[in-house]
Structure 1
Amino acid sequence: ALAGALDIIAEKWSEDASVREWMVEKGTKFGQITSAVKRGKKDEADKYEAYLDRAESASRIPGHRLLAMLRGEAEGILRVGLKMEEDRAISHVQSTFIRNRSFEFARELESAAEDCFQRLLQPATQSTVLQMLKEKADEEAIDVFGKNLHELLMSAPAGPRVTIGIDPGFRTGCKVAVVDGTGKFLANTTIYPTPPKSDTAGASKQLLALIQKHNVELIAIGNGTASRETDTFVGGLIRENRLDVTKVMVSESGASIYSASELAGKEFPDLDVTVRGAISIARRLQDPLAELVKTDPKSIGVGQYQHDVNQTQLRKCLDRTVESCVNHVGVDLNMASVPLLSRVAGIGPKLAENIVQYRDTNGRFGSRKELTKVPKLGKKAFEQAAGFLRIRGGDEPLDNSAVHPESYTLVSRMAKQLHADVKTLVGNSTLSQKLQPDSFVDDRFGIPTIRDIIAELGKPGRDPRSEFKVAQFDDSVQSMEDLREGMVLEGVITNVTHFGAFIDLGVHQDGLIHVSQLANQFVSDPSEVVSVGDVVKVKVLEIDLDRKRIAVSKKALG
């Protein structure tokens, strides 16, 4: 009876809101997050080596380390918990509820307080604290993913040039696809310059024929299996034949997922999945934004624990990031695909399909105004979308700018004041700089809007993305075995995290620039120093072949 009564008391005490709040506060401030390997799992725990017996302050544990611990627990390798100052916690429960220590059952009540903490409060506090820290870590990881995705989507486009895309391989050969300046598929073949066939002569003949027939200017090579061997072969072909062609290594993350998707099936119903992948690689080089919007952002390879964080929040963040990039760059109405158009403000997947269908039936759009003829595209959708859509070589010169149709009358007033026509004003920065914003202010247009319009008139339709630049990989370095400590190599930043940045050096395994090696001064946020897509030089510090890890430094190299 006494034991039953004490159980009831312990449960009642554990439900006290003020005590629970105190426990969570102390657990968060002074507790330690611990991780240990589960019994019998040590042989499977190689990738969690740093977390097999670890304790970190709950108030200071970095989000990426907590997520790593929790992933290890989800995989059944680790046991994650919260360690608190047990004596202090039990003492707090006792002092809160036991008013009279000389009471006949005081000792039993003290024992109940101990039971209350160990059996009820500690597990509840652990669950709450871990959940709070997990939510914070999720926010940080999602923020990192959003920044990386933004930088990747805003990567410099190589532009509308005829491009060959190569999806490298060994046994099955390298799939080759040619696309024209608009991304339209022209031809494909398979070459075998890599082992086991190593038919470099036949491959050279086939590739050279495609280059000459289609006047190819760019060759995009996927950075997966056999990429460096293929890159070396293509480089030799260019040098031997003195071709005016630029080769570029392109990330193929997510290309296989796109090529097997329903969207790719509709776009290229008669082509093999591997050929679709080569086409995607070519188009990624021409315009990363236009091609990558076709792929689930989680598959692009720039996230940090993207499968472990809150998926609803992640999806919202990524959708917002993609739409922001698309609207910032603008979309060519006569070339854009359904996935790209669907990301424009005011246009969803269904309207995007209607626009493309209208374009296929009636030919290219001559003006933005023609959009109103698209089925189910109403006035509201037009007002939202028109400013983000571009028409090159159309009837209205302002249609190839960020100036919204609602402001066309304002531009006409500006041109009239300068005694010029709109066509002369658009793209003439010398002329547009003569305009005085104050003289155009009225009930509809304020100073900020007018200044934005004047700036746009000077450089209409200007692509805000940076200039296209190619990383020069060292031809003598093909794999990790070729790396040596002290080597200085050029590479491309592929991912930025809170603990540093990953860089593609062309050896099939990204190197890590730890946050402490990013600059000669202290760096709190790696994204302030480097961004996805940056071409940088680094020094090799350490090569671990067994664990496939490469440590590099950007210090003193700029």
Structure 2
Amino acid sequence: MINYILKHTNLPEKGIKNTIELLKEDCTVPFISRYRKERTGNLDEVQIGQIVTFKTQFEALEKRKKAILKALEEQEVVTSELVQKVNNAPDLTTLEDIYLPYKKSKKTKAEAARNKGLEPLAKIIMAQNATDLEFTVSKYVNNLVENEEDALEGARHIIAEWVNERSDIRNQIRYQLEKFAQITTKVISTKKNDEKAQKFRDYFDWSESLGRCPSHRLLAILRAENEGFIRVKIEVDAERALSKIEDRIIKSNNVCSIQISIAIKDAYKRLLYPSLSNERLKLAKEKADESAILVFSKNLKQLLLGSPLGEKRILAIDPGFRTGCKMVCLSAQGDLEHNETIYPHAPQNDSSGAIKKISSLADAYKIEAIAIGNGTASRETEQLVKRVHFKNEIEVFVVSEAGASIYSASKIAREEFPNYDVTVRGAVSIGRRLADPLAELVKIDAKSIGVGQYQHDVDQTKLQNSLDTVVESCVNFVGVNINTASTSLLSYVSGIGPKLAENIVTYRNENGPFKSRIAIKKVPRLGGKAFEQGAAFLRIKNAKNPLDDSAIHPESYAIAEKMAKDKGVAIENLIGDKKELDAINLSKYISDSVGLLTLKDIIKELEKPGLDIREKAKVFTFNQNIKSITDLREGQLLPGIVNNITNFGCFVDVGIKESGLIHVSNLADTFVKDVNEHVSLQQQIIVKVLEVDVPRKRIQLALHN
């Protein structure tokens, strides 16, 4: 396993070996990267994630090898040479090629020919030295073989199978497909004018190199095919491919070589090309999936680590026209204190009543900030709120609603608010997102947050695993207040999981807030391992021991306390004293189990324990004169917020229903390799309007520097 991982990464052998040992001890990736730096050689989460990926791949390969060896034993065809080949196979493709000759179906044309006794004839032809093939063939005519042509056809089917099973030939065709394959599309004539097909019209008659086809285009083409609008083909120069095969097999120029040439054409058309072109498309799709999943994961991470407003009393509004605007008042801890509906917009148009109600609720519940969902009627509601004269200064924020409707109808929302309908739950979610995006967004299926490309077309298992990893990483990076966190948030803490998260919340409800980290051990079924993995990521505000609200692991408390003792001060007096902390000689605290990396982390945390590393939320204002796509003009400069990032550019909310696209070519004057290097999700930017296509509702923008 270590050799396999070494071959696929540039990581140090010792770090790989120790990481595998830690994984076998049921340690989590966040725990290993944060608290076992000495053992891993300071590998970060990404590098440890690579080790996990290739460890899983290796285990899958080994499992398949065992299954194949068992199948070969059952067929009684095992030889030491074959066992060695199987055991030395470096990947699944090579392994399946080795197994291919033994994986026969009884219904193949070659098997039918063998049953007629034609394999010896096939061997004679392949030897290419028969002097009188016509006479030789006549010997194989019997009650099962009607005539000489029947015999030759059967022999060719066997030869075609041999050609198909040769790994060198398969690899040659793979090379041809990898280097020269074209993906071509044709519209299905009966669907050409279908309204739903129009978004794929660029691919009604398309052709390009499969190897150069960008991930987003390939996924779009495959979606169009799945929806029945186009046909997709993978094409390669068949003549060149056939000549490469013939060069490897045909060594003569006689009647035998003619038969072999016919068999090769059959093998290529019937067996090799269909199988290997599908394999090539599958590999291209897997690569496109990986690219799309990476984009989604980066976006999700940026969204989850979005700026929180913090513990503030919030009035949240889920805006609407006919159905009104649902309003909720939330405490600083996010508890629902009041809800009601106002109707300031058409058809009711009760704006004066709405203004009075917002003003009175702001006074009654001592509101410090207002969160407005960015969906239907958002701009109109924002303008209404700005007409309200508040007694105190109240900041107004527009908050992304993506996925709020999914949350409001979910089991989690029903359990949180069993006595309220979906509209109230949705408004609560909008308000809580402003206070802490991470704590609220973990309750929603990440695929529903809408920050990716073609997320429903990619491998769903790989997508889910990747997104779960991102959420786990973000939650543990920020840390969790154990006395206010929901079950959903706690379930992502290292070593905790859904069941223990439920137990923590139940214990908290029955016994009151946790006073110390050590008290966490009283939670039913939370054993030593779970405590070791999770304790440092769980924070306790205003605890007796100030280290309980830090990222310092309880196993290192003694070191921090010794530092304070050596300085002659209490630990609470050492915390935040940068001058004293900088003066500590760390080398005197190094031991067999604790190295300089851990000691530096302890000092860094003592400087600002429990600090939220995220930036605070900032108010943003759109151009108030832009209310719809028809208000846009080429050359305008507008403020906007990046609301999605893809491989081909980013989408920007400029305050109207339609988001504009900054194509990758309009992000910078130089070549853009990674969109994330130029913009980030929720970033506030200035854009220039390049083109407005009102009928197609498309807006082309450029990043204005």
Relative to the length of structure 2, the TM-score reads 0.76
Q: One-letter code of the match for 1:349?
A: P
- Partners of 1:283 and 1:365 lie apart in 2 by 23
Give the equivalent residue in structure 2 for 1:13: 163
Q: Confirm or deny that 1:34 pairs with 2:178.
A: no
Spell out the pairing of 1:58-77 with structure 2 (5 A cutoff).
58-77=210-229
- Partners of 2:231 and 2:585 lie apart in 1 by 67
Is the 1:180–1:186 Cα contact (8 Å) retained in structure 2? yes
- Partners of 1:113 and 1:43 lie apart in 2 by 42
Corresponding residue SS for 2:212: coil
Give the equivalent residue in structure 2 for 1:83: 235
Corresponding residue SS for 1:59: helix
Q: CA deviation at 1:39?
A: 2.7
Q: One-letter code of the match for 2:287?
A: K
Match of 1:149 among 292, 295, 300: 300
Residues 445, 11 of structure 1: CA spacing in aligned structure 2 closer, same or farther, 3 A cutoff?
Answer: closer
- Partners of 1:5 and 1:197 lie apart in 2 by 84
Q: CA deviation at 1:216?
A: 1.2
Over alpha carbons, which structure has the higher Rg? 2
Q: Deviations over 1:231-253 (max 9, x none)?
A: 2222233xx55751111111111
Q: CA deviation at 1:8?
A: 4.5
- Partners of 2:503 and 2:404 lie apart in 1 by 26
Spell out the pairing of 1:347-358 with structure 2 (5 A cutoff).
347-358=496-507
Q: CA deviation at 1:372?
A: 0.9
Match of 1:124 among 251, 260, 275: 275
Q: One-letter code of the match for 1:436?
A: N
Q: Deviations over 1:84-106 (max 9, x none)?
A: 012111222333333323x2364
Q: Deviations over 1:36-69 (max 9, x none)?
A: 2123111132111221111121222211111111
Match of 1:518 among 667, 677, 680: 667
Is the 1:223–1:508 Cα contact (8 Å) retained in structure 2? no
- Partners of 1:336 and 1:428 lie apart in 2 by 30
What percent of counterpart residues are identical?
Answer: 49
- Partners of 2:579 and 2:480 lie apart in 1 by 27
Give the equivalent residue in structure 1 for 2:367: 216
Give the equivalent residue in structure 2 for 1:96: 248
Q: One-letter code of the match for 2:352?
A: A
Spell out the pairing of 1:405-420 with structure 2 (5 A cutoff).
405-420=554-569
Q: One-letter code of the match for 1:85?
A: D
Corresponding residue SS for 2:163: helix
Range 379-388 or range 83-92, more displaced:
83-92
- Partners of 1:241 and 1:320 lie apart in 2 by 43
Give the equivalent residue in structure 1 for 2:427: 278
- Partners of 2:328 and 2:390 lie apart in 1 by 20
- Partners of 1:391 and 1:243 lie apart in 2 by 32
- Partners of 2:262 and 2:188 lie apart in 1 by 30
Corresponding residue SS for 2:641: strand
Q: CA deviation at 1:120?
A: 2.9
Residues 112, 39 of structure 1: CA spacing in aligned structure 2 closer, same or farther, 3 A cutoff?
Answer: farther
Q: CA deviation at 1:107?
A: 4.4
Q: Deviations over 1:74-128 (max 9, x none)?
A: 1111212211012111222333333323x23644543443333233322222201
Give the equivalent residue in structure 2 for 1:467: 616
Corresponding residue SS for 2:650: strand
Q: One-letter code of the match for 2:526?
A: L
- Partners of 2:577 and 2:349 lie apart in 1 by 55
Give the equivalent residue in structure 2 for 1:320: 469
Is the 2:642–2:683 Cα contact (8 Å) retained in structure 1? yes
Spell out the pairing of 1:185-200 with structure 2 (5 A cutoff).
185-200=336-351
Structure with bigger RCO (C-alpha 8 Å, 6+ apart): 1
Q: CA deviation at 1:5?
A: 4.5
Residues 489, 165 of structure 1: CA spacing in aligned structure 2 closer, same or farther, 3 A cutoff?
Answer: same
Q: One-letter code of the match for 1:78?
A: I
Give the equivalent residue in structure 2 for 1:230: 381
Give the equivalent residue in structure 1 for 2:206: 54
Is the 1:517–1:553 Cα contact (8 Å) retained in structure 2? yes
Corresponding residue SS for 2:475: helix
Spell out the pairing of 1:487-498 with structure 2 (5 A cutoff).
487-498=636-647
Is the 1:156–1:465 Cα contact (8 Å) retained in structure 2? yes
Q: Deviations over 1:157-197 (max 9, x none)?
A: 01111111111112111111111111010111111112222
Is the 2:185–2:204 Cα contact (8 Å) retained in structure 1? yes
Structure 2 unmatched ranges of 5 or more: 1-149
Is the 2:363–2:391 Cα contact (8 Å) retained in structure 1? no
- Partners of 1:445 and 1:91 lie apart in 2 by 65
Q: Confirm or deny that 1:139 pairs with 2:290.
A: yes
Residues 371, 241 of structure 1: CA spacing in aligned structure 2 closer, same or farther, 3 A cutoff?
Answer: closer
Q: One-letter code of the match for 2:646?
A: T
Is the 2:362–2:390 Cα contact (8 Å) retained in structure 1? no
- Partners of 2:212 and 2:327 lie apart in 1 by 50
What number of residue pairs does the alignment pair up?
Answer: 553
Give the equivalent residue in structure 2 for 1:170: 321
Q: Confirm or deny that 1:549 pairs with 2:698.
A: yes
Q: One-letter code of the match for 1:262?
A: K
Q: One-letter code of the match for 1:133?
A: A
Q: CA deviation at 1:230?
A: 1.7
Q: One-letter code of the match for 2:359?
A: L
Q: Deviations over 1:360-408 (max 9, x none)?
A: 1111111111101111111111111111111111111111111111111
Is the 1:516–1:522 Cα contact (8 Å) retained in structure 2? yes
- Partners of 1:276 and 1:531 lie apart in 2 by 29
- Partners of 1:194 and 1:542 lie apart in 2 by 31
Corresponding residue SS for 1:492: strand
- Partners of 1:466 and 1:19 lie apart in 2 by 58
Spell out the pairing of 1:224-373 with structure 2 (5 A cutoff).
224-237=375-388, 240-241=389-390, 244-373=393-522
Corresponding residue SS for 1:40: helix
Q: One-letter code of the match for 2:169?
A: V
Q: One-letter code of the match for 1:332?
A: N
Residues 266, 370 of structure 1: CA spacing in aligned structure 2 closer, same or farther, 3 A cutoff?
Answer: same
Give the equivalent residue in structure 1 for 2:80: none
Give the equivalent residue in structure 2 for 1:23: 173
Is the 2:483–2:540 Cα contact (8 Å) retained in structure 1? yes
Runs (4+) off by over 6 Å:
none
Corresponding residue SS for 2:255: coil
- Partners of 1:51 and 1:427 lie apart in 2 by 61
Q: Confirm or deny that 1:385 pairs with 2:534.
A: yes
- Partners of 1:430 and 1:88 lie apart in 2 by 74
- Partners of 2:213 and 2:303 lie apart in 1 by 29
Q: CA deviation at 1:198?
A: 1.8
Give the equivalent residue in structure 2 for 1:506: 655
Q: One-letter code of the match for 1:285?
A: L
Corresponding residue SS for 2:221: helix
Q: CA deviation at 1:516?
A: 1.1
Is the 1:52–1:78 Cα contact (8 Å) retained in structure 2? yes
Q: One-letter code of the match for 1:466?
A: E
Is the 1:429–1:459 Cα contact (8 Å) retained in structure 2? no
Is the 1:496–1:526 Cα contact (8 Å) retained in structure 2? yes
Relative to the length of structure 1, the TM-score reads 0.96
